[in-house]
Structure formats: C-alpha cells, structure tokens
Amino acid sequence: MTQPESERPSPSFCYALVPCAGLGSRAVSPQDQPFQAKQFQEVAGQAMVMHTLQALAGVARIRRGWVVESPGNDFEWPEAPMWPARFERIACGGASRAHSVFNGLQAMRAQGVNDHDWVLVHDAARCLVTPAMVNALIDRCWGDEVGGLLALPVPDTVKAAADGRVVATVDRADKWLAQTPQMFRLGDLLAAMAPFEAAGFVGITDEASAMEMAGHFPLLVPGSAHNFKVTYPPDFALAAALLQSRVI
C-alpha cells in the first residue's frame, strides 16, 4: 500500500553549523597583546576561520551554513568572493561552545531547517578540514539512524597521571580521538542537549557526548591527522605550513 503523500517524510538535507564565539585563550601567549580570538588570527594569508568556511563551502551537499559569533564581535569579516555565498552569520554565541551550538541549532530551526535534516557541527579552529573528509563523513552517516563523527584511533601510548607523575598506562585499543564535523539530525541533537541547558551545558564536551548521554551510539568515521584543532601557539605554524603546501 502506497503511503499517503502527506505522511511521507520530507527529503533530508545537510547543513553546517560553525561555533565561532570562543576565545581560544590557550592559543595565545601571555605577552600577546592585544588579545584576539584564535579563530580570527591570520594563518596562511587569511583568518583561520575563513579557511574552515571555504572548505565547508566546497561540499556541494551542504545546502546552507551558519556561523555562530558572539554578540558585539568586532571582527571585520571579508566580503565575497572570500565569504562563501551559502553561509550566514548569527550573533547568538553563548558562554561555552555547547551553549553556542545549542543557540545555533535553535536559530536554524527558527529559519526553517527540519528536525529530520542533518547538521554538521564543525570547529572553526579545525581549518585543515577538506571537502573529501566531510564527504566521507556524509557518505557513512547518511543512512544511519544516529549519525557520527570524524575520529582517529589513538596512535600513542596513553598514560594516566597524578601530580605530574605516571600512575598507570591506559589500554588504547578501543580509544579514539574525536574530531569534527560531527553529523546528527537537528531534532535529535537539540533533544539530547536540552536537558543540560539549565546547568550551563556542563559535561558536554562535544555533540557526540550529548548524543551518548541520551542513549545513542554515534558512528566513528576515520578522519585525518591533518584535521587537528589549532589550540596552542606552535599549532599556527604547523597549520600554515600544511595549508601552504597544498596544491591550489
């Protein structure tokens, strides 16, 4: 029996959400003045976040994207053609990354994104992501009930420490390093994060952690060592070298 057209689920689409309201204080040395959030610092000729957005814009299946910035952010964003046409900025950043993501998801829903649609949340400071990495994630997650994230198996020996000394060696056999994008359906991710709103989203370190606490089991999709998050001062030079080494 054919399902009535009114009861058929609408086609799913992919959207991107880039939280861009953090300070990134670990990326700045104490003597660095004036302070500028790491995502707006220049890497290989332009602000780090612009490399990130341009890579996401190179994924044809991403229909639209939103960049969540802090209210009152004074960064001078570039105009087209550097600025991706399918992306827009919304000034609803919160006190934490998770808060910014939650606010961004609500704004996306208010602008007509369906709860069944996929949202790819990506860190602004992972500026070495490529369209190929993102497409690999979409390919793996598109037919999945939950969704998933790019990640890497832990390659090194892992130590547990106390007071600066090793107290144990941790079995790394089942350990992965989480990356982004992380791809989940809008409604599912909002529902997973909502219970933590009253407590300021304490305990949510990424979107997958919220989904896990809601009883879901996200897919782990192999990522790339190049898709690291620029976090500390030396990371800028490494990111610049890798970006400049790419064939244009």
Please determine, for residue 233, whether its predicted confidence score (pLDDT) is greater than 60. Answer: yes
Measure the CA–CA gap between 11 and 118, rounded to whole angstroms: 11
Whether 224 has a pLDDT exceeding 90, the answer reads yes
Q: What is the CATH number of the domain that holds 67?
A: 3.90.550.10
Q: At 42, list the tokens.
A: 């220049």
Q: By three-state DSSP, how is residue 78 classified? A: coil
Average pLDDT (78-101) is 95
> In this predicted structure, what is the pLDDT of residue 9?
58
Res. 163: pLDDT tops 80: yes
Six-digit token string for 27: 């990326």
6 lies in some domain: no
Domain that holds residue 95: 12-245
Would 4 be classed as within a structural domain?
no
pLDDT at 117 over 90: yes
Q: Residue 180: inside a domain, yes or no?
A: yes
Say if 82 falls within a structural domain.
Answer: yes
Contact indicator for 126, 54 with CB cutoff of 8 Å: no
Tell whether 191 is covered by a domain. Answer: yes
In a domain, residue 149? The reply is: yes
Q: What is the pTM of this model?
A: 0.91
For residue 5, being part of any structural domain is answered with no
Q: Tell me, what amino acid is at 177?
A: L
- SS3 assignment, position 207: helix
User: Does residue 129 fall inside a structural domain?
Assistant: yes
The number of distinct structural domains making up the chain is 1
